[in-house]
Amino acid sequence: MTVSNQERLARVGLARVTEPGSLDIWAALQAASAEQVWASVRAGEPLGQLGQRALDGLAARLAVCDPQRDLEQLDRQGARVLCPGDDEWPGGLVWEPSAMSGEVRGMAPPFVLFAEGPHHLREAMAESVAVVGARAATAYGTHVAKELGFALAEAGSTVVSGGAYGIDAAAHRGALASSGAPTVAVLACGLDLVYPRGNDRLLGEIRRQGLLLSELPPGCGVTRVRFLVRNRVVAAMTQGTVVVEAAERSGSLSTSGRAADLGRHVMAVPGPVTSAMSTGTHQLLRQGCSLVAGVDDVLEVVRPMGEHLTVRARGPVHPRDRLEEQTRRILDALPVRRPVSVARIAAAAGVSTLMVQVALPELLGAGLVEQRDGGWRLTTLGASG
């Protein structure tokens, strides 16, 4: 399936006159081609479910819309228009809004994406994780996000975030520091704009080394709703979303909410209970989402079963740990310094002298006890651990 220039133009036009996630245009596209829908919008003529009232809502924007000019501008900028059917169109962006729960129920999937950067979007998204969180992050949160972004990229997972201050920026920066998988920023404005301004250098680096992505044509600024609607793209394209820090009822929980609505994995990083920036992640953990203390926790969740088996760091096993409880009790009854008799050990341990006589060879063999001056005492190893 190839996408014609006319269809591409039509989808840019449709993106111009509507807001991302709106149901009207999306519903019309389920029944007719993009060219048919765009023709009916331009003519102001109802088509199937796209009624007169919806068309009236598009009229004001239609008057100032020029998709051909948009395409030329994108071209000059080095950005591309992606449509369903393009090889680069990522998986995960298909759902039936009326069949979903939560806020995604009222949100349509994207029907066009604008992309800029030297990576193939679908390939980059094949193994990808959203790392999101508070803009007003703490030093702890940004540290963890950066480390996690780096480790995920090193492990070959694309780090997707929203390019915002705080956690988003730290996750992108961590990923950029790796020479592994790329990082993708999904913006809530046109690719010709930079929001927030303070992240212009970071977003420039992502444009050059990763991928900048948006549903919005050039010139469209951010609005509050656009941030929330954008978050469904971040959630839908990735296998799971990790929230690093979030205040209670914070906007940074929006992406994880979308991820849950869409059946994606939701993960959260715990933090100090004394930190307001961890109340949101602790609430997610109370609700049963997966706890993330490091990259292994993420890979264990998002990779198909068996591909990533976490070997958790363990302390070295002390020979003592391998002993039966009875034997361990006898070991505990031995002194560190002055050697004692088998009878004394038995009295201290509360076992028979026979049991002590049976246990001592094992303890001797394990290097835990030694015989001195006709009695028994602990070795340095036996006294340790």
Classify burial at 162, counting beta carbons within 10 Å of its beta carbon; exposed 0-12, middle 13-18, buried 19 or more: buried
- In the chain the beta strands, taken as DSSP E runs, fall at 80-82, 113-116, 128-132, 158-161, 183-186, 211-214, 240-243, 265-268, 290-291, 369-372, 375-378
Classify burial at 365, counting beta carbons within 10 Å of its beta carbon; exposed 0-12, middle 13-18, buried 19 or more: exposed
Site for its own copies in 125-164 (CB under 8 A): 140, 143-144
> Which is nearer to its own copies, 17 or 130 (by Cβ)?
17
**360: closest CA among 352, 321, 316?**
352
Site for its own copies in 212-251 (CB under 8 A): 223-225, 247-249
CB 95 within 8 A of CB 270: no
34 belongs to the binding site for its own copies (CB under 8 A):
no
105 belongs to the binding site for its own copies (CB under 8 A):
no
The tokens describing 21, both together, are 């996630």
293 belongs to the binding site for its own copies (CB under 8 A):
yes
> Which is nearer to its own copies, 126 or 347 (by Cβ)?
347
273 belongs to the binding site for its own copies (CB under 8 A):
yes
Distance CA 114, CA 187 (A): 10
> Which is nearer to its own copies, 117 or 280 (by Cβ)?
280
> Which is nearer to its own copies, 63 or 99 (by Cβ)?
63
199 belongs to the binding site for its own copies (CB under 8 A):
no
* Of positions 13, 14, 18, 260, contacts its own copies by CB under 8 A: 18
Site for its own copies in 294-313 (CB under 8 A): 294, 297, 312-313
Q: Cβ 370 to its own copies, closest distance in Å?
A: 19
The tokens describing 256, both together, are 């994880």
Q: Which residue bears the tokens 């929001």?
A: 195
Part of the chain binding its own copies (CB under 8 A), chosen from 85-93, 126-134, 251-259, 352-360: 352-360
Q: Cβ 364 to its own copies, closest distance in Å?
A: 19
> Which is nearer to its own copies, 176 or 242 (by Cβ)?
242
CB-based contacts of 174: which residues, under 8 Å, 6+ apart?
A: 145, 146, 147, 148, 149, 150, 151, 152, 153, 159
Q: Cβ 84 to its own copies, closest distance in Å?
A: 22
Q: Cβ 304 to its own copies, closest distance in Å?
A: 20
* Of positions 325, 337, 338, 373, contacts its own copies by CB under 8 A: 325
Distance CA 166, CA 14 (A): 33
Distance CA 109, CA 172 (A): 24
Q: Cβ 250 to its own copies, closest distance in Å?
A: 9
Part of the chain binding its own copies (CB under 8 A), chosen from 108-116, 160-168, 195-203, 282-290: 282-290
Distance CA 227, CA 220 (A): 12
**Cα separation values, 117 from 71, 162, 205, 209, 330, Å:** 17, 15, 10, 7, 68
Query: Residue 141, SS3?
Result: helix
Q: Cβ 159 to its own copies, closest distance in Å?
A: 17
Q: Which residue bears the tokens 């269809």?
A: 7
- Site of interaction with its own copies (CB under 8 A): 17-19, 22, 53, 56-61, 63-64, 106, 140, 143-144, 223-225, 247-249, 269-274, 278-279, 282-283, 285-286, 290-294, 297, 312-315, 325, 328-329, 332-333, 343, 346-347, 349-355
